[in-house]
Amino acid sequence: MTAVEAAGAGPIVQLQGVSKRFDGAAALAPTDLEIPSARTTVLIGPSGCGKTTLLRLMIGLLAPDSGRVVFGREGKDTVLTRDNVRALRVRMGYVVQDGGLFPHLNARDNVSLMARQLGWTRERIASRMNELAELVRLPPPLLDRHPAEMSGGQRQRVGLMRALMLDPELLLLDEPMGALDPLVRAELQDDLVAIFAHVGTSVVLVTHDLAEAALFGHTLVLLQEGRIVQRGTLEDLLERPADPFVTRFVRAQRRFDGPKGMAP
Partner 1 sequence: MRRAVALVFGGVVMVVVMVVCGTSRATAGAGSWRVGSKAFTESVVLGEIAVQLARSTGREATHRPGLGGTRLLWDALLKGDLDAYPEYTGTLAEEVLSDARPAEGAGQGWVTAALAARGVGVVGPLGFNDTYALGVKRAMAERLGLRTITDLRRHPELRFGFSSEFMSRGDGWPLLRARYALAPADVKGLDHDLAYRGLASGAIDVTDLYATDPEIRRDDLLVLEDDRGIFPRYDAVLLYRLDRAQSAPEVLAAWQRLRGRIDAGAMADMNARVKLDRVPEQAVAATFLKTTFGLTAPQARAPGRLEVIARYSGRHLFLVGLSLLAAILLAVPLGIFAARRRRLGQVVLAAVGIVQTIPSLALLVFMIPLLGIGPLPAMVALFLYSLLPIVRNTHAGLRGISPALLESAEALGLPPAAILRRIELPLASPLILAGIKSAAIINVGTATLGALVGAGGLGEPIFTGIRLDDVALIMEGAIPASALALLVQGLFELIERAVVPRGLRRRDA
What residues make contact with partner 1 under the rule CB under 8 A? 59, 61, 86-90, 92, 94, 96, 98, 100-106, 113-114, 117, 146-148, 162
Of 91 and 254, which CB lies nearer to partner 1 in the complex structure? 91
Compute the least distance from the CB of residue 181 to partner 1, in Å.
21
Compute the least distance from the CB of residue 162 to partner 1, in Å.
8
Of 18 and 107, which CB lies nearer to partner 1 in the complex structure? 107
CB-based contact 115:125 (threshold 8 Å): yes
Of 22 and 102, which CB lies nearer to partner 1 in the complex structure? 102
For helices 122-135 and 107-117, angle between their N-to-C axes, nearest 10 degrees: 130
CB-based contact 216:41 (threshold 8 Å): no
Compute the least distance from the CB of residue 164 to partner 1, in Å.
12
Q: Which residues pair with 11 in a beta bridge?
A: 36
Residues 6 or more apart whose Cβ sits within 8 Å of residue 134: none
Q: 152-173 burial, b for 16+ CB within 10 Å, e for fewer? A: bbbbbbbbbbbbbbbebbbbbb
Q: Which of helix, strand or coil describes residue 232?
A: strand
Report the amino acid identity of residue 227.
R
Of 62 and 238, which CB lies nearer to partner 1 in the complex structure? 62
Of 107 and 229, which CB lies nearer to partner 1 in the complex structure? 107
Of 6 and 148, which CB lies nearer to partner 1 in the complex structure? 148
Nearest to 238 by CA among 211, 216, 205: 211
Of 109 and 225, which CB lies nearer to partner 1 in the complex structure? 109
Compute the least distance from the CB of residue 234 to partner 1, in Å.
29
Nearest to 176 by CA among 166, 165, 168, 161: 161
Dihedral of the alpha carbons of 67, 10, 5, 203, in degrees to the nearest 10: 80
Q: Which residues pair with 74 in a beta bridge?
A: none
Q: How far apart are CA 204 and CA 124, in angstroms?
A: 27
